Structure 1
Amino acid sequence: MVDSAPFDPPMFLRNAHVQTILSSMGPVRWRAARIARQLHSEQRTLHAEDGTRLLVDLDRAGSPNGAVVILIHGWEGSSRSTYQVCTAKILLDAGFDVLRVNLRDHGDSHHLNRELFNSTRSGETASAVADFLRRTQYNTTFLAGYSLGGNFALRIANDAGQALAIDGVVAICPPVDPANAMDALNAGLPVYERYFFKKWACSLARKLSHYPDLDYQGELKAARCIDDLNRFFIPRYTGYPDSESYYAAYALTGDRLRDLTMPAWLITAGDDPIIPVRDVARLNPNRHLTIDIQAHGGHCGFIENLWGKSWGERRIRDIFRGLLDGPSGTSDQA
């Protein structure tokens, strides 16, 4: 089994907020833009059994190893977010084909489905992945996600992992208790709440441009923060009466991951300013699930140097390469 070295950034990169902000800015953004120009992605629309359509990007390795990695982005990210593109590159170079999935109403997919996205919709994502796998012939299938995408990945692996023949799953900084994550977001640096509020509000406005009959212009215009949006959109569009029941529906706490039957990793940082690391202790043990808490890394950062290289990307690659190679596979290659 692969055993990557712990994340040990230089002193000037150890601050949690520096890690979090750099994960999508500066050198990482420039690196992702350069990689994106080199990729030859094939955009596809996948169909779930209930009629949901999801937009994806498929990239094929030059020297394929017979395995595919399915990547899921975080809330208000997309298949073309910096971390998705950079992770795809390191996996492609290792011989993996990569399918980058856009969740409903993410990326350029707002027009595909009338109903709005919510974080409990892991079933439709699993069904869309099944549509892809039925049309392809891979020997091995891996699943990984960042932030909310990591939460989705673990739930999909738990609920549909056997049906999809998932051979391993990695979640980077997933929300374990979404209610606590929202509290941390509200109590943390205002820049984080402002970022997600603006992204979500823009996404909702974009949705409205395709489906004006949803008729929530007034509520959207009046909202000043995420809590304002939650108070209106959760009871009206999620099927849950309030935020407490909604957050509980996609929490990973307790026995939620009891049905995991494949190797699984939950990797997070002790200094994550958005996802409270203390919530990890509320996961009931599962012999298939490895909890890996690094001292540093911020939220989905793990930036190693000023060139924007990420320990998290390498960790995903090394885990999947180790599973593919079997017990003798070892690597700490840069």
Structure 2
Amino acid sequence: MPWIQHSDYQAPYWLFNGHLQTIIPSQFRKVQDISYQRERFATPDDDFLLLDWSEIQSDKLVIISHGLEGDSQRPYIKGMVRAFNRAGWDALAWNFRGCGGEINHTLRFYHSGATDDLDLVIAHALRKKSYQNIVLVGFSLGGNLTLKYLGESGSQLRPVIKAGVAFSVPLDLHSCSQQISEPANFIYNRRFLRNLKLKVSQKVIKMPDDISTEHFDKIKTLLDFDDFYTAPIHGFQDALDYYSHCSSLYYLNDIRIPTLLVNAKNDPFLSDKCYPQQMLAAHPYIFLETPTQGGHVGFMPRGAKANDNYWSEKRALAFAASNLEGSHI
């Protein structure tokens, strides 16, 4: 499928770089006209996931996966929920383990490759209702998770899943971890580490015999955190082993349904490996779109009003609709 070189996305004039295009939508966008019904879903390992539903009694469902240290309340999630609801879809925004406002019961957290939980969510949604069409949408870490899931499933993917859409995806976790640790990204790095350490501290209170804060002074980067916590907790040798097993870049060749991947060229989080034009040039299912602007999970449209859909929401809807109709745009 084609590399879409000439994306029609244009950022507002006053958001003149990738940092502003990332931060302003994240901190100042308000999406208030969404009412979730929360479900506490018990997992087979005596843990739970918090699922936030926005249903309009449709036979179509979008399942939306958030980014690192995100949750279903983030404006980019609620904006996507609202857009799909307006277009006639039910929406399910699920919170990864330890997200959604409540620390989970087990030692494991969430991570970039935890596709088993995404599969549980999909199976549960289908038990709850006989949806005829499902589209998976993911942002950042959730985009990596979505693409990895589609690649792992390959030709065995449930036929009801018609398309995938992923925005701002760190396809290669190692190089993106290094990218976020660059001096220009110190604000993001500091914020992520602060929130991740808080989750570890909450775990220590619940299970002091299984986890501790003894490594906190050694953690300066996301790679450090993944070395000391993410990797050993989830069965990987170290951070590099975790990155090699969970980077969606290595699963793209096996995707077998129409999938849109949108990575802005000025995304401050993404490395050069996140724009695999040559690798995907002959891929029969993946559309790679690389707008020059957009930042990380930004995509505020030029001239947007308070209740307008963002460009990313319009793009996801158009791609989903085209694949239910049998064409591709």
TM-score scaled by structure 2? 0.87
Q: Is the 8 A contact 2:113 2:144 kept in 1?
A: no
Matched with 1:232 is 228
1:215, distance to aligned residue in structure 2 (A): 3.4
CA-CA distance at 1:23 after TM superposition: 2.6
Query: Within 2, Cα distance between the matches of 1:109 and 1:132?
Result: 22
Measured after TM superposition, the shift of residue 190 of structure 1 is 1.1
Residue 321 of structure 2 is matched in structure 1 by: 321
Asked whether the equivalents of residues 12 and 300 of structure 2 are also in contact (C-alpha less than 8 Å), the reply is no
Contact 2:21 2:298 in 1 (8 A): yes
Q: Structure 1's 68 and 90: CA in aligned 2 closer, same or farther, altered over 3 A?
A: same
- Aligned equivalent of 2:128, options 121, 135, 143: 135
Match of 1:261 in 2: 256
Q: Which of 267, 270, 284 is matched with 2:265 structurally?
A: 270
Shift of residue 227 of structure 1?
4.0
Unaligned runs of 5+ in 2: none
1:102 aligns with 2:95: yes
> What TM-score do you get using the length of structure 1 for normalisation?
0.86
| 5+ residue gaps, structure 1 | none
Q: Equivalents in 2 of 1:135, 1:112: separation in Å?
A: 24
Secondary structure of 2:249's aligned partner: coil
Q: Please state how far the C-alpha of 1:283 moved relative to its aligned partner.
A: 4.3
**Is 1:280 the counterpart of 2:282 in the alignment?**
no
Sort the Cα spacing of 1:125 and 1:207 in 2 relative to 1 into closer, same or farther, 3 A: farther
The SS at the match of 1:269 is: coil
Aligned position for 1:159: 152
Q: What SS is found at the alignment partner of 1:163?
A: coil
Root-mean-square deviation (CA, aligned residues, Å) is 2.5
Give the one of 273, 292, 295 matched to 1:298. Answer: 295
For 1:94 and 1:134, locate their aligned partners in 2 and report how far apart those are by CA, in whole Å.
23
Over 3 Å counting, the alpha-carbon distance change for 1:288 and 1:228 in structure 2 is closer
2:307 is the alignment partner of 1:312: no
Offset at residue 274 of structure 1 (A): 0.4
User: Aligned partners of 1:111 and 1:52: how far apart in 2?
Assistant: 7
Q: In the aligned structure 1, how far is the partner of 2:12 from the partner of 2:68?
A: 29
Is the 8 Å Cα contact of residues 158 and 260 (structure 1) preserved in structure 2?
yes
The sequence identity of aligned pairs, in percent, is: 23
Give 1:24-173 correspondences, 5 Å limit: 24-26=26-28, 28=29, 31-32=30-31, 35=32, 38-61=33-56, 64-160=57-153, 162-163=157-158, 165-173=160-168
Alpha-carbon distance in 1 for matches of 2:82, 2:209? 41
Q: Aligned equivalents of 1:277 and 1:171: distance in 2?
A: 17
Deviates more, 1:197-206 or 1:42-51: 42-51
**8 Å contact from structure 2 (residues 173, 243) kept in 1:** yes
Q: Which residue of 2 aligns with 1:215?
A: 211
- C-alpha contact (below 8 Å) 1:54/1:109 kept by paired residues: no
- CA deviations 1:193-213 (Å, max 9, x no partner) are 111111211222223333333
Q: How many residues align?
A: 317
d(CA) in 1 for partners of 2:217, 2:69: 19
What is the Cα deviation at residue 157 of structure 1?
2.0
Q: Name the residue aligned to 2:9.
A: 7
